[in-house]
Structure 1
Amino acid sequence: MTAFDRLLQEYQRRVDMASAAEMITLTNEMLNIINYGR
């Protein structure tokens, strides 16, 4: 496993975590709209 491979894995992990956080934020916003939009 080269240093490049490790860097690539770390980058992918960070992207995955960012995506998950983004999805949670979007879900919370959608719930807020549903709950308070009436």
Structure 2
Amino acid sequence: MYEQYKATRDRMPTDLKTQENLIFELLEKFGINPISKM
């Protein structure tokens, strides 16, 4: 991502981070291929 964008962006909330795997599983079941940097 762009460094200028990242400079002012807040970190991902902890409660959202814990749901990340569930979100990716749901996207996969719907046939959506997410782009991620893992």
Q: Aligning the two structures, in what range does the TM-score lie when normalised by the shorter sequence?
A: 0.3 to 0.5
TM-score (norm 2): 0.36
**Pair member with larger Rg:** 1
Which fold has the larger relative contact order, with Cα–Cα distance below 8 Å and residues 6 or more apart in sequence? 2
More helix per residue: 1
